[in-house]
């Protein structure tokens, strides 16, 4: 499929997403990409490809592992294939730099020590396509993450928490982010498997909010930044 701007506006049908979910266990990345290209050719929006097709597939792979239906290597390879498909789609159909307000900026990162970057890269793509100035880190060291936050302006910091980290570690990192950030009132929100399983962790660790998926995270970020500029911010819980 040629590289170019996509004008698709349709959403992935839930039944198609369910049929696709386990394919990364059986198909290689090139074969998966061909399936995804078929959806794009039918007019499916790129955002929907990410949020409604690839993200549920990643969650399903995790369920296969938790239910002992496949081994760790199978799941790891499946997630790598999904990440490669997402990378290829993003390269072939880049965000339009003329869209949105590039004055809004966001940094996304997995928790230091977490090697799962798919969620981080996906949310960064969704924000970039909405007109945000974005950056995503992969496998960052804690020192590296805090140094970047200290040196540059970001309206929003998004942490994906898919590993089994303790509340104390997450709370300490968020406190450090606020301490070093060069942006007064920087908004910090968290997401991922661990947070979705216990949304109340937002209050416990001192984050500003959470959302169950990348699309909802974008809505949340828009709200947080607008409220910050209006001078009133309080923690936000999952968006329905």
Say how far apart CA 59 and CA 65 lie, in whole Å.
10
Residues 57 and 116 in one domain: no
What are the pLDDT digits (tens) for 169-210? 999 999 999 999 999 889 999 998 888 888 899 999 999 999
Note down the domain range covering 145. Answer: 105-230
Q: Does the residue 7 lie in any domain?
A: no
Return the CATH number at 163: 3.40.50.280
In 3D space, the residue among 54, 44, 47, 125 whose CA is nearest the CA of residue 85 turns out to be 54
- Range of lowest pLDDT (58-72, 144-158, 179-193, 222-236): 222-236
Q: Does the residue 1 lie in any domain?
A: no
**Structure confidence at residue 236 as a pLDDT band (50, 70, 90):** low
In sequence order, what are the residues at sequence separation of 6 or more whose Cβ sits closer than 8 angstroms to the Cβ of residue 73? none
Residues 78 and 121 in one domain: no
Q: Does the residue 238 lie in any domain?
A: no
Last residue of a domain, one of 65, 92, 119: 92
Return the CATH number at 34: 1.10.1240
Strand order in the sheet with 133-136: 133-136, 105-110, 156-160, 187-191, 209-210
Q: Does the residue 79 lie in any domain?
A: yes
Angle between helices 72-92 and 29-41 (to 10 degrees): 40
Q: Does the residue 134 lie in any domain?
A: yes
Residues 86 and 193 in one domain: no
Query: What average pLDDT is seen over the chain?
Result: 88
Flag whether pLDDT at 164 surpasses 80: no
* Number of domains observed in the structure of the chain: 2
Last residue of a domain, one of 92, 119, 148: 92
**Structure confidence at residue 6 as a pLDDT band (50, 70, 90):** low
Last residue of a domain, one of 92, 115, 136: 92
Say how far apart CA 7 and CA 185 lie, in whole Å.
36
Q: Residue 198: its pLDDT value, please?
A: 87
Phi first, then psi: give them for residue 129, nearest 5 degrees.
-70, -20
Residues 118 and 217 in one domain: yes
């Amino acid at each position: 499929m040629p590289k170019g701007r996509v004008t698709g506006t349709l959403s992935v049908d839930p039944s198609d997403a369910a049929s696709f979910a386990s394919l990364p266990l059986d198909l290689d990345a090139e074969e998966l990409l061909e399936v995804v290209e078929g959806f794009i050719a039918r007019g499916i929006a790129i955002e929907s490809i990410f949020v409604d097709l690839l993200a549920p597939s990643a969650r399903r792979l995790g369920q296969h592992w938790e239910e002992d239906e496949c081994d760790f290597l199978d799941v790891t390879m499946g997630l790598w294939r999904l990440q490669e498909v997402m990378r290829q789609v993003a390269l072939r159909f880049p965000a339009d730099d003329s869209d949105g307000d590039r004055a809004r900026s966001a940094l996304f990162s997995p928790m230091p020590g977490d090697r799962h970057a798919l969620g981080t890269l996906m949310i960064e793509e969704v924000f970039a396509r909405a007109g945000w100035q974005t950056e995503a880190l992969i496998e960052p060291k804690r020192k590296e993450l805090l140094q970047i936050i200290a040196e540059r302006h970001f309206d929003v910091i998004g942490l994906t928490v898919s590993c089994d980290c303790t509340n104390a570690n997450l709370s300490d990192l968020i406190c450090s982010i606020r301490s070093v950030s060069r942006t007064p009132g920087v908004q910090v929100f968290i997401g991922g498997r661990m947070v979705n399983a216990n949304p109340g962790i937002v209050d416990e660790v001192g984050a500003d909010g959470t959302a169950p998926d990348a699309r909802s995270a974008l809505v949340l970020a828009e709200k947080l930044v607008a409220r910050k500029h209006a001078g009133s911010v309080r923690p936000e819980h999952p968006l329905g």
